[in-house]
Amino acid sequence: MPNKPKVATQKNRRAKLEEVRRQQRAAERRKTLVFVSIASVIALAIVAAAAIPLYNEWRNDPSRRSFSSFGVALASAQCDAEQTAAASGTNDHVGPGTERADVTKVDYKTVPPSFGQHFAAPAPFTRKFYTVDDRLPMEQLVHNLEHGYNVVWYDETIQGEQLDDLRALSEKIGNDEGGSPHFIVSAWDTAYGAFPEGKHIGMSHWGASQGIRQMCGQLSGEAIERFVKAHPKSDSPEPNAA
pLDDT tens digits, residue range 82-114? 999 999 999 999 999 999 999 999 999 999 999
Q: Identify the three-state secondary structure at position 210.
A: strand
- Give 3-state DSSP helix, strand, coil % of the chain, rounded to 5: 45, 15, 40
Mean pLDDT computed over every residue of the chain: 87
* 55 and 107 together in one domain: no
pLDDT at 234 over 70: yes
Question: Same structural domain for residues 80 and 52?
Answer: no
> 20 with 103, same domain?
no
- If asked whether residues 23 and 132 sit together in one domain, one would say no
Separation CA 139–CA 145 (nearest Å):
10
Confidence of residue 7 (pLDDT cuts 50, 70, 90): low
Q: Tell me, yes or no, whether 242 lies in a domain.
A: no
Residue 127 lies in a domain: yes
Give the type of residue at 28.
Answer: E
In a domain, 240, yes or no: no
Same domain, residue pair 83 and 170:
yes
- 122 with 161, same domain: the answer is yes
Q: Are residues 153 and 185 in the same domain?
A: yes
* pTM for this prediction: 0.75
Task: Write out pLDDT tens, residues 116-133.
Answer: 999 999 998 888 999 999
Q: For 3-17, b where at least 16 C-beta lie within 10 A, e where not — what string? A: eeeeeeeeeeeeeee
Q: Is residue 175 located within the same domain as residue 223?
A: yes
At residue 143, the 3 state secondary structure works out as: helix
Q: How many domains does the chain divide into?
A: 2
Question: How many residues does this entry show for the chain?
Answer: 242
Strand duo 201-206 + 150-154: pairing: antiparallel
Q: In what order do the strands lie in the sheet with 210-216?
A: 83-86, 210-216, 201-206, 150-154, 183-187, 129-130
Q: Are residues 152 and 221 in the same domain?
A: yes
| Cα separation, 27 vs 22, whole angstroms | 9
182 and 115 in one domain? yes
> Residue 52 has what pLDDT?
52
Run of H or E including 222: helix 221-230
| C-alpha distances out from residue 185 to 38, 62, 118, 168, 195, Å | 50, 15, 18, 10, 16
Please state, in angstroms and rounded to a whole number, the distance separating the CA atoms of residues 151 and 141: 8
Q: Is there a domain that residue 47 lies in?
A: yes
Q: Tell me if 105 is assigned to some domain.
A: yes
Q: Are residues 171 and 72 in the same domain?
A: yes
Same domain for 42 and 99, yes or no, is no
Residue 143 lies in a domain: yes
Residue ranges making up the domain that contains 50: 1-59
Q: Which residue has the higher pLDDT, 75 or 16?
A: 75
For residue 95, the model assigns a pLDDT of: 96
CB 146 within 8 A of CB 239: no
- Are 193 and 138 in contact by the 8 Å Cβ rule? The answer is no
Which helix (H) or strand (E) element contains residue 108?
none
Task: Report if residue 11 sits inside a domain.
Answer: yes
**Last residue of a domain, which of 42, 59, 76?**
59
